[in-house]
Structure 1
Amino acid sequence: MPRVRKSGRKRSERERFLAALANPVPAGGVGPRVVAGKGYLYAVDPAEYRCSQLAAQLADEWVEYVAATGLTTHGKVYVTGIDRFCRYVDKRLGSAAASASLVAAGLFDTLMGWELTLPEDYVEGSCRPRLLAGAVRLLIIRRDDHSERPVDGNLARLARGPAFIDWGETTERDEFKRQEKRALVRAAWRSAHDTRRRLQEGWQLAEQGQHPEIGSWTSVPDLLWGLAHDEITPDDIRVNVPPIWQWRPELCDFAAGDARFVPSLARLQLCRALFRQLYPFTRELHAFRVLLMDATGYASEEVTGFGESEVEFLPKGVRLTLLKNRAGLLRHRAFRDRTASAAGVTDQTDEQLTVNWPRREASEVVRQLLDVTARARAKAPHVTDTLFVSGAIRNSFDPFFGAWAPDARGGSFGEWLDVMGVQVKGDRNIGRMRKSVKVEKAIVTEGRVGAAADDHTEETFAGHYAQGTTLRILSGRTIATAQQHWFDKALARVDGPTDVRPAGTTELDQNQLMDSGLSAEQAEAIMSGQLDMGVSHCENPYKSPFSPPGELCAVAPLRCLECRNAWILPSNLPQLLIFQDHLKRLRTRLAPPVFSRLWGQSWVNLQAALGDRTPEEIAQARKHIDAGDAVLDLPLTANTEFDA
Structure 2
Amino acid sequence: MRQHSINPADYRCSVLAAQLADEWVKITRALGIGDGGANYGSAVRKFATFTDEYTPTLGLDPVGARLDGDEIDLVEVIYAWEEALRREFPQSKHPYTLVKALLALIEQRASAGGRVGEKLKARAQAPTAFRAPRGKPLDEFPNAERIALRDAARNQVRATETRLAHGKGLLATGVDPRDGGWRSVPNLLWAARAGMITSKVLKRELPSEPKWWPLEIRDLLPAWTDDGRSRRPGVRALVRALGRMLCAAEMDLHAFRVLLLLGMSDTTPEELHDLKAGDIEFTDGGVRLVQQKLRAGRIRADLHPEQPAPPVEAGAYFAGAGAWDVPGLLRRLLAVTNLAREAFACEPWLFLAVDYRKETGGLGTLCAEFTHDKRRFTHWITSQRDSSGSPLAISEPHDVRRLRKTAKVVRAVALGGSLTDLAGDDHHIEIYRGHYAPGTTSHVLAGRAINRSQQWVFERVTDKPVLIDAAAVPRLEEPEVAQSLGLSSAQAKAIGTGDLDMGLTHCRDPYDSPHRSDGKVCHVAPAMCMLCRNAVIFTSQLPRLLMLSDHIERMRAALPPPQWQAVWGRQAAALNEVFAECADLLPAARQQVTDLGLRLDLPLGQRTEFGR
- After the TM superposition, which of the residue ranges 372-381 and 60-69 deviates more from structure 2? 60-69
Give the aligned partner of residue 283 of structure 1. Answer: 251
C-alpha distance after superposition, 1:275-334 (max 9, x if no partner): 22112222212112222322334443332223223334444222132344xx3x444344
Aligned partner (choices 355, 362, 365) of residue 391 of structure 1: 355
Gaps of 5+ in 1: 14-44, 101-109, 147-155, 342-358, 491-644
Query: Identical aligned pairs, as a percentage?
Result: 24
Give TM-score scaled by structure 2 length.
0.51
1:378-527 superposed matches below 5 A: 378-384=342-348, 387-392=351-356, 397-421=361-385, 422-443=392-413, 444-445=415-416, 448=419, 451-452=422-423, 455=426, 464-465=435-436, 467-469=438-440, 472=443, 476=447
Give the aligned partner of residue 301 of structure 1. Answer: 270
Give the aligned partner of residue 241 of structure 2. Answer: 273
1:183 positional shift:
1.4
- Residue 448 of structure 1 aligns with an amino acid whose one-letter code is L
- After the TM superposition, which of the residue ranges 332-341 and 397-406 deviates more from structure 2? 332-341
CA contact (8 A) 1:279 1:373 kept: yes
Gaps of 5+ in 2: 59-63, 112-120, 309-322, 386-391, 462-612
- Residue 311 of structure 1 aligns with an amino acid whose one-letter code is I
1:2-151 superposed matches below 5 A: 4=4, 9-10=8-9, 48=16, 62-63=27-28, 66-67=31-32, 73=38, 118=82, 122-123=86-87, 127-128=93-94, 131=97
Give the aligned partner of residue 189 of structure 1. Answer: 154
- Residue 170 of structure 1 aligns with an amino acid whose one-letter code is G
Instruction: Tell me which of the two structures has the higher relative contact order, counting C-alpha pairs closer than 8 angstroms and 6 or more residues apart.
Output: 2
Aligned-partner Cα distance in 1 for 2:457–2:80: 42
Give the aligned partner of residue 320 of structure 1. Answer: 290
Aligned-partner Cα distance in 1 for 2:92–2:195: 57
Aligned-partner Cα distance in 1 for 2:46–2:371: 33
Aligned-partner Cα distance in 1 for 2:335–2:76: 59
Aligned-partner Cα distance in 2 for 1:95–1:253: 68
Give the aligned partner of residue 336 of structure 1. Answer: 303
The 1:57–1:265 alpha-carbon spacing in structure 2 relative to 1, beyond 3 Å, is closer
When the two structures are aligned, how many residues end up with a matched partner? 419
C-alpha distance after superposition, 1:174-194 (max 9, x if no partner): 432221222112222221232
Aligned-partner Cα distance in 2 for 1:439–1:78: 41
1:129-278 superposed matches below 5 A: 131=97, 166-170=131-135, 173-230=138-195, 235-241=200-206, 249=215, 251=216, 254-256=219-221, 265=233, 267-278=235-246
- Residue 240 of structure 2 aligns with an amino acid whose one-letter code is R
- After the TM superposition, which of the residue ranges 309-318 and 184-193 deviates more from structure 2? 309-318
CA contact (8 A) 1:294 1:433 kept: yes
Aligned-partner Cα distance in 2 for 1:467–1:437: 15
User: What RMSD in Å do the two structures reach over aligned CA positions?
Assistant: 5.9
Aligned-partner Cα distance in 2 for 1:374–1:199: 11
1:98 positional shift:
5.0
Give TM-score scaled by structure 1 length.
0.49
Give the aligned partner of residue 374 of structure 1. Answer: 338
CA contact (8 A) 1:115 1:133 kept: no
1:349-364 superposed matches below 5 A: 361-364=325-328
Give the aligned partner of residue 565 of structure 1. Answer: none
Give the aligned partner of residue 280 of structure 2. Answer: 311
The 1:162–1:187 alpha-carbon spacing in structure 2 relative to 1, beyond 3 Å, is same
Aligned-partner Cα distance in 2 for 1:71–1:448: 42
C-alpha distance after superposition, 1:499-551 (max 9, x if no partner): xxxxxxxxxxxxxxxxxxxxxxxxxxxxxxxxxxxxxxxxxxxxxxxxxxxxx
Q: Tell me the SS of whatever aligns to 1:176.
A: coil
1:273 positional shift:
2.8
Q: Tell me the SS of whatever aligns to 2:177.
A: coil
Aligned-partner Cα distance in 2 for 1:445–1:403: 38
1:477-626 superposed matches below 5 A: none
- Residue 252 of structure 2 aligns with an amino acid whose one-letter code is E
1:163 positional shift:
8.9
